[in-house]
């Protein structure tokens, strides 16, 4: 990677980890090379849209709590491998910055992760190349492309596990998933029939919505705004809020922070896992937008 445009600065972030600080006319963003982890997106005139825990760890062995973790090449636990990290190895890996450039009012940053000795001896030992492209502007567009560089087919799961900031999750509704069957993870694994109305939060919520390509909208009544999550190349949407007891149980999650966030995750997991033949690739995109009264 040669020189950076003035809109992108490589600096030392929390925990001494390298971070890209991006400034565009439409918004600012932060992306840690650790996990290619977006930790901030603040549209001009708005409060932060992407949520980050004040208790997050920032060290090589931990996933950052909040932002947009990249879950790859599995989601959740890796069956048969209790030693394997939750949500795969990508969010724990150091990604390489391969491109940074301006395009009109947008700033484009591209990071890459390829197989290594560590991944080739992991619970998912295939040869691959993953490219994560972030377009920072009036919207935030994140694209994960996975290429099969092996001589055999492989299957993977993936998620852009987006944490969104809300004024109060108890006064938040998510539209776009009406009538969509879902797995309620605490009581799963059999899918439940979709609900007629919007998703509302009255307790711990951890739902895998299946076979949906729909855009969702997070209606943040207390925050006075709406955040849209559009997607391409994704057939699964996960919605998560830990609620009280799960928040208390997480050392990297403030005890009272659960009211200020909700995850809307752009995924391909479980029955929507992706199968790639050698030399094939797959692309999944999540695009965030915000509308509502600009905050003074």
Tell me if residue 265 is catalytic: yes
SS (H, E, C) 152-189: CCEEECEEEEEEEECCCHHHEEEECCCCCCEEECCCCC
Query: Could you tell me which of 140, 157, 23 has the C-alpha nearest to residue 89?
Result: 157
Query: Could you tell me which of 29, 25, 24, 23 has the C-alpha nearest to residue 42?
Result: 29
Closest CB 86 distance from ligand TA6, rounded Å: 4
Q: Which of 15, 18, 48, 76 binds ligand TA6 (CB under 6 A)?
A: 76
Q: Token digits for 117?
A: 């000795």
Residue with smaller CB distance to ligand TA6, 52 or 136:
52
Residue pair 218/257 in contact by the 8 Å Cβ criterion: no
Cα gap 39→57, rounded to integer Å: 12
Residue with smaller CB distance to ligand TA6, 221 or 252:
252
270 burial (CB, 10 Å; 0-12 / 13-18 / 19+) is middle
How many other C-beta atoms can be found within 10 angstroms of the C-beta atom of residue 170? 15
158 binds ligand TA6 (CB under 6 A): no
Residue with smaller CB distance to ligand TA6, 34 or 161:
161
Closest CB 76 distance from ligand TA6, rounded Å: 5
Q: Which of 44, 54, 86, 213 binds ligand TA6 (CB under 6 A)?
A: 86
238 binds ligand TA6 (CB under 6 A): yes
Cα gap 65→250, rounded to integer Å: 10
Tell me if residue 161 is catalytic: yes
240 binds ligand TA6 (CB under 6 A): yes
**Residue of 11, 265, 277, 282 with catalytic role:** 265
In the shown chain, the binding pattern of residues 192 to 231 toward ligand TA6, with x for contact by CB under 6 A and - for none, equals --------------x-------------------------
In the shown chain, the binding pattern of residues 92 to 131 toward ligand TA6, with x for contact by CB under 6 A and - for none, equals ----------------------------------------
Residue with smaller CB distance to ligand TA6, 87 or 225:
87
In the shown chain, the binding pattern of residues 8 to 37 toward ligand TA6, with x for contact by CB under 6 A and - for none, equals ------------------------------
Cα gap 202→82, rounded to integer Å: 32
Cα gap 211→230, rounded to integer Å: 15
Report the site for ligand TA6 in 169-198 (rule: CB under 6 A). 185
244 binds ligand TA6 (CB under 6 A): no
Give me the half-sphere count of Cα atoms (radius 13 Å) on the Cβ side of residue 34.
21
Residue pair 193/212 in contact by the 8 Å Cβ criterion: no
Q: How many residues belong to the site for ligand TA6 (CB under 6 A)?
A: 11
Please give the residue ranges that form the binding site for ligand TA6 (CB under 6 A). 63, 76, 86-87, 161, 185, 206, 238, 240, 263, 265
């Amino acid at each position: 990677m040669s020189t950076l445009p003035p809109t992108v600065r490589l600096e030392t972030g929390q925990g001494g980890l390298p971070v890209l600080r991006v400034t565009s006319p439409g918004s600012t963003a932060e992306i840690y090379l650790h996990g290619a982890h977006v930790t901030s997106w603040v549209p001009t005139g708005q409060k932060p849209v992407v949520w980050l825990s004040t208790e997050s760890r920032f060290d090589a062995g931990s996933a950052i709590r909040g932002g947009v973790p990249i879950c790859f090449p599995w989601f959740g636990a890796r069956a048969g491998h209790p030693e394997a990290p939750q949500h795969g190895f990508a969010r724990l890996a150091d990604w390489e910055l391969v491109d940074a450039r301006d395009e009109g009012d947008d700033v484009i940053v591209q990071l890459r992760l390829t197989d290594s000795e560590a991944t080739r001896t992991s619970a998912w030992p295939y040869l691959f190349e993953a490219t994560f492209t972030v377009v920072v502007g009036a919207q935030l567009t994140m694209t994960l492309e996975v290429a099969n560089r092996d001589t055999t087919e492989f299957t993977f799961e993936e998620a852009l596990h987006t944490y969104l900031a809300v004024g109060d999750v108890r006064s938040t509704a998510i539209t776009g998933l009406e009538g969509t069957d879902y797995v309620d993870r605490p009581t799963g694994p059999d899918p439940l029939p979709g609900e007629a109305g919007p998703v509302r939060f009255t307790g711990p919520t951890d739902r895998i919505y299946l076979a949906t390509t729909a855009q969702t909208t997070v209606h943040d009544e207390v925050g006075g705004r709406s955040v849209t999550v559009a997607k391409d190349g994704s057939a699964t949407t996960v919605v998560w809020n830990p609620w009280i007891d799960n928040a208390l149980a997480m050392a990297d999650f403030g005890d009272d922070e659960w009211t200020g966030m909700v995850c809307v995750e752009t995924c391909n997991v479980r029955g929507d896992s992706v199968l790639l033949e050698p030399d094939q690739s797959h692309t999944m995109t999540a695009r965030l937008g915000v509308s509502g009264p600009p905050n003074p």
